[in-house]
Amino acid sequence: MHPSLYLCLLLLVSSSLRAQTPTNFLATEPNSTYPSYFNTLIGTSAGNTTMLGSQNALIGHNAGKSITTGSYNAFIGDEVGYFNTTGQLNIFIGARTGYQNTTGESNAFIGANAGYNNTIGSNNSFIGYLAGYSNISGISNSFIGNRAGYLNITGKYNSFIGYFTGYSNTSGNDNAFIGSYAGNANTTGNDNAFFGHASGAYNTTGTGNAFVGTYAGYNNTTGVGNTYVGLGAGGGAESSYNTFLGANAGSSPMINNAVAIGHNAIVNQNNSMVLGGTGVNSLSVGIGTEAPQNTLEITQGTPGNSGLRLTNLTSAVSTTYTTDKFLTVTASGDVVLATSGTPNLRQAATAADGLWQTSGEHLQNNNSGGVIIGQQMIKTPSDYKLFVEKGILTEKVKVAIKNTSEWSDKVFERGYQLKSLGEVEQHIQQQGHLPGVPSATEVVEKGIDVAKMDAKLLEKIEELTLYSIQLEKTSQQQQAKIDELERLVKGLLEKK
């Protein structure tokens, strides 16, 4: 638009508005006589007579009052961006929003007094009454909600969403708080993720925590490296490196490196793991079954095979212990403690049939066969030495890998032939499962070797990683093309 025509329009708007109440709104002639250009100034004392910045929109009493070379700003409201001098690319909307900003750039403050004290902070987004009010030099923050990030001064890369969320944060960095009062007391804590009303509400300096759920991690103040998921999970804990999953799952205040899983599951010892609570909150664990009938029930799928292997408890291991007690199974497969009627089971077995011998501190069979526990074992494949009917109850299981060739790092070796996604899709459509993975029929017929299956699953994960890397490279190439097209389009638009 021609400058003279632009001025005429302003005068026309001014004439029509003067008929209204003059203390509320006024569109005046240009306030600047200096050769700045394409500025829009509406309101008493908006901008100033010496400003050099261009392409600003200053609307409201004293909006952008101190601006010098700042450009591309949009200030709307009473005394918005009052002290801004060279700051550019800012959007301030609301009474005294961005009031103290001087050189801060690329900020978006919306709401009365939002970002009020910001001076040099850049790339911030504060939305809501008093959001980011105290921020001075913090950068790349996103505060959304009434008083969200109110006391933040130098903190950066934070995202606070909700009423009073991250209110007390001053210099904490890289935090994500979502939900009213989430992370409300955090001051210098870094790398936290709190999701849910009042989650991590009292955290002050705790770092590296992830709390998900209303009141999750509510009383944590300085604890680090915790993961709490569920309503009130970890609500009373004040320690570190814990994982609590489930409503009100947690521990006594000073327990560290512990895990509690399940509704009201409580762990009260360091370096421990608890599944389920007690009483009505107790938990049964089923492996291979949908309805476990004991605290732990393992269903392998093949009659006479428990699906449990004890790697460090084999026939080659000897023992010096003597006892008349032993473990056996009931008709339901429950493992129970029984008495043999002799004070030395090892000697009794040897005397009975000569099948056993002592090897150091261990009891060892004398033949090449295996050991069968139970009366209904149908299958006894030669690759195994212990056959237990119904199942085995144990506190720990570890699967040994004999050599590196049985693991799956070969996927990352040069020359590995990674199937294309098209080939994988075709195989799935034809076979109904991933290449190299046994079908449901095979699993039912032959069972699963835990070590081999883990290796195969790792192989698929590593292949998935390679596919992801390929997609990322393709994405980066496409983004580069998009960036180039945007640059060309921008150049064409600027030439118009």
Name the more confident of 344 and 273.
273
**Residue 158 resides in a domain:** no
Check whether 17 has a pLDDT greater than 60.
no
d(CA 260, CA 190): 25
Q: What is the DSSP string of 178-232?
A: ESTTTTTT-SS--S-EEESTTTTTT-SS--S-EEESTTTTTT-SS--S-EEESTT
At 4, give phi and psi (nearest 5°): -65, -40
At 387, give phi and psi (nearest 5°): -125, 120
Domain stop point among 355, 388, 421: 388
Check whether 273 has a pLDDT greater than 90.
yes
Residues 294, 369: one domain?
Answer: yes
How many independent structural domains does the chain possess? 2
Q: What is the DSSP string of 70-95?
A: --S-EEESTTTTTT-SS--S-EEEST
Residues 376, 337: one domain?
Answer: yes
d(CA 62, CA 41): 10
**Residue 143 resides in a domain:** no
The separation between CA 368 and the C-alpha centre of its own chain, rounded to angstroms, equals 52
Check whether 264 has a pLDDT greater than 70.
yes
**Residue 458 resides in a domain:** yes
pLDDT of residue 252: 87
Check whether 467 has a pLDDT greater than 90.
no
Check whether 469 has a pLDDT greater than 90.
no
**pLDDT mean across residues, the chain:** 85
pLDDT of residue 96: 98
Contact 149, 166 (CB under 8 A): yes
In 3-state terms, what secondary structure has residue 250?
strand
pLDDT of residue 2: 42
Check whether 126 has a pLDDT greater than 70.
yes
Mean pLDDT of 248-253: 91
Check whether 21 has a pLDDT greater than 60.
no
Mean pLDDT of 377-393: 76
**Residue 192 resides in a domain:** no
Q: What is the CA radius of gyration of the chain?
A: 35
pLDDT of residue 403: 75
Name the more confident of 394 and 219.
219
Residues 300, 379: one domain?
Answer: yes
**Residue 234 resides in a domain:** no
pLDDT band at 345 (very low <50, low <70, confident <90, very high): low
pLDDT band at 19 (very low <50, low <70, confident <90, very high): very low
Residues 292, 350: one domain?
Answer: yes
Residues 424, 464: one domain?
Answer: yes
Check whether 82 has a pLDDT greater than 80.
yes
Residues 416, 360: one domain?
Answer: no
Check whether 231 has a pLDDT greater than 70.
yes
pLDDT of residue 241: 97
pLDDT of residue 431: 84
Name the more confident of 222 and 431.
222
Check whether 12 has a pLDDT greater than 70.
no
Check whether 23 has a pLDDT greater than 70.
no
In percent, how much of the chain has pLDDT > 70?
86
Domain stop point among 388, 417, 450: 388
**Residue 321 resides in a domain:** yes
**Pairing state between β 266-267 and 285-287:** unpaired
In percent, how much of the chain has pLDDT > 90?
48
pLDDT of residue 321: 65
pLDDT band at 15 (very low <50, low <70, confident <90, very high): very low
Name the more confident of 184 and 301.
184
Check whether 492 has a pLDDT greater than 90.
no
Residues 373, 416: one domain?
Answer: no
- DSSP H/E element including 469: helix 450-495
| 44-53, 104-113, 250-259, 476-485: range with highest mean pLDDT | 104-113
Domain stop point among 322, 356, 388: 388
249: closest CA among 227, 226, 232? 232
Check whether 38 has a pLDDT greater than 70.
yes
Structure tokens at 465: 């990683």
**Residue 108 resides in a domain:** no
414 HSE (CA, 13 A, CB side): 0
pLDDT of residue 396: 81
Mean pLDDT of 380-408: 75
pLDDT of residue 344: 57
pLDDT tens per residue across span 281-329: 888 888 888 888 888 888 877 777 777 887 877 777 766 666 667 677 7
Residues 337, 425: one domain?
Answer: no
Residues 381, 435: one domain?
Answer: no
Mean pLDDT is lowest, of 185-189, 257-261, 294-298, for 294-298
d(CA 469, CA 199): 35
pLDDT tens per residue across span 144-178: 999 999 999 999 999 999 999 999 999 999 999 99
pLDDT tens per residue across span 346-369: 555 445 456 777 777 777 777 777
Structure tokens at 487: 């640059």
**Residue 306 resides in a domain:** yes
The whole domain housing 345 covers: 286-388
pLDDT tens per residue across span 86-117: 999 999 999 999 999 999 999 999 999 999 99
- DSSP H/E element including 327: strand 325-329
- Sequence-distant (6+) residues with CB within 8 A of 416 are 410
